[in-house]
Amino acid sequence: MNILTPFEYFAPETLDEALELLATKENAKVIAGGTDLVVQLKEKIIHPANVIDIKHIPELNEFKVEDGKGAVIGACTTDAFCEFSKELQAKFPAFSYAAGEIGGPQVREMGTIGGNLSNSGPSAETPASLICYRAQLVLVSKEGERTIPVEDFITGNRKNCLKPGEIIKTIILPEPDKNTYVKYAYVGLRRSMEIDVANMCIRLDVDGDTIKDAMVVMGSVAIKPLISEAVPAVLKGTKIGDEEVIKKAAEAAQSEVHPITDVRASAQYRVDVIGALTRRILRDLADEIKK
Ligand SMILES: Cc1cc2nc3c(=O)[nH]c(=O)nc-3n(C[C@H](O)[C@H](O)[C@H](O)COP(=O)(O)OP(=O)(O)OC[C@H]3O[C@@H](n4cnc5c(N)ncnc54)[C@H](O)[C@@H]3O)c2cc1C
């Protein structure tokens, strides 16, 4: 039976209180939605002596989207809130879509964006789009705050650069340029409650029908989100929707990934999926841009 190892539970009401607890309580873990953490507790992967619930702290639930100023999203904002926010759907559609593809509705009502990032799983849904939107994280501890790009936050399989006593406070999304288009897609083995076989987000910065710049981030094919160097090199300076270029871009993406075989997919299938995702996203982006 999955009986939890005993721990002390704290529910601080302010950020200062939470940071004090984190700095002073031994072997402490924060819990937000608990959709990852409770599984790890039940499976006895982790054995915290103290669990600090940060979900209802006002500073961690900030949400602001302003014209010309992008968005500020508190770490404890739920996946479901980001899925259904009209403002995020309009300004950051790929991120809103990615948040809406996490687990099922119950998981998204509980789970938070800060939790998704901090868990730092290789197949996590939100990092690829946040990296493409050049999102930054504000990390906070008793010592103060620091800001770090999402691409530098995740350092390995379930590893990140959080220091002891530090948590994610907010996610900052800069205002996207009107000539920037971002799309996220993934392949899983069933329609929901699946873990991605592979996922990908592509950002295109365009000038008329020419690709000025591009960014491609791939998930579930390495220990952390993989930022492509080869695909932007293929895409830059080409015409949107050129089938020859799309084919070469897919081959370039496939040449960069060296995924593992696991219960969900073989390494070769993941490489095939990466090719398919590249073609699908680039064609979808071409249709969207030409509209
Ligand atoms: C059935 C099921 C299906 C799922 N499907 C998907 C899926 O398709 N895609 C996907 O990406 N994920 C999936 N998940 C994982 C999970 O739901 C998400 O990662 C969720 O967003 C995690 O948020 P949380 O608030 O529940 O995190 P928690 O479980 O509360 O915390 C996760 C980790 O992050 C730490 N943490 C939480 N918040 C912070 C913070 N602000 N600062 C520092 N550390 C923090 C915790 O200490 C813990 O280590 C699934 C989970 C379940 C149970």
- Asked if residue 125 lies in contact with residue 186, where contact means CB atoms within 8 angstroms, the answer is yes
Question: Could you tell me if 200 and 100 lie in one domain?
Answer: no
pLDDT digits (tens, 9 = 90+) for 7-18: 999 999 999 999
Tell me 265's DSSP state: -
Domain of residue 94 covers 59-173
Where a domain ends, among 173, 197, 212? Answer: 173
Please report the atom of ligand 1 found closest to the CA of residue 166. Answer: 43
Q: Rounded distance, CA 241 to CA 283, Å?
A: 6
pLDDT digits (tens, 9 = 90+) for 241-273: 999 999 999 999 999 999 999 888 999 999 999
What distance in angstroms lies between residue 28's CA and the mean position of ligand 1's atoms? Answer: 17
CATH of the domain at 26: 3.30.43
Tell me 214's DSSP state: E
Q: Is pLDDT of 165 > 90?
A: yes
Question: Could you tell me if 81 and 144 lie in one domain?
Answer: yes
What distance in angstroms lies between residue 111's CA and the mean position of ligand 1's atoms? Answer: 6
Q: Which tokens go with 226?
A: 């993989």
pLDDT for res 1: 59
Nearest CA to ligand 1 atom 32: 115
Where a domain ends, among 173, 205, 230? Answer: 173
Question: Could you tell me if 255 and 154 lie in one domain?
Answer: no
Where a domain ends, among 38, 53, 68? Answer: 53
What distance in angstroms lies between residue 213's CA and the mean position of ligand 1's atoms? Answer: 32
Q: Is residue 80 part of a domain?
A: yes
Q: What is the mean pLDDT of residues 144-164?
A: 97
What distance in angstroms lies between residue 241's CA and the mean position of ligand 1's atoms? Answer: 36
pLDDT for res 170: 98
What residues flank ligand 1, with Cβ below 6 Å?
29-37, 39, 75, 79, 102-103, 107, 110-112, 114-116, 118-119, 124-125, 162, 167-168, 193, 195
Q: Which tokens go with 136?
A: 């930054």
Q: What is the pTM of this model?
A: 0.97
Question: Could you tell me if 94 and 197 lie in one domain?
Answer: no
Q: Is residue 2 part of a domain?
A: no
CATH of the domain at 98: 3.30.465.10
For a pocket test of ligand 1, which of 22, 107, 138, 159 has the largest count of ligand atoms closer than 8 A to its C-beta?
A: 107
Non-local CB neighbours of 71 within 8 Å, separated by 6+ positions: 63, 64, 65, 87, 88, 91, 92, 171, 172, 173
Beta pairing class for 50-53 and 63-66: unpaired
Q: Is pLDDT of 2 > 70?
A: no
Please report the atom of ligand 1 found closest to the CA of residue 118. Answer: 34
Question: Could you tell me if 76 and 108 lie in one domain?
Answer: yes
Q: Which of 85, 98, 114 is nearest to 172 (CA)?
A: 114
CATH of the domain at 186: 3.30.390.50
Question: Could you tell me if 134 and 48 lie in one domain?
Answer: no
Nearest CA to ligand 1 atom 9: 102
Question: Could you tell me if 189 and 143 lie in one domain?
Answer: no
Q: Is residue 1 part of a domain?
A: no
Question: Could you tell me if 163 and 66 lie in one domain?
Answer: yes
What distance in angstroms lies between residue 54's CA and the mean position of ligand 1's atoms? Answer: 13
Question: Could you tell me if 110 and 167 lie in one domain?
Answer: yes
What distance in angstroms lies between residue 64's CA and the mean position of ligand 1's atoms? Answer: 22
Question: Could you tell me if 169 and 106 lie in one domain?
Answer: yes
Domain total in the chain: 3
pLDDT for res 261: 92
Q: What is the mean pLDDT of residues 36-43?
A: 94
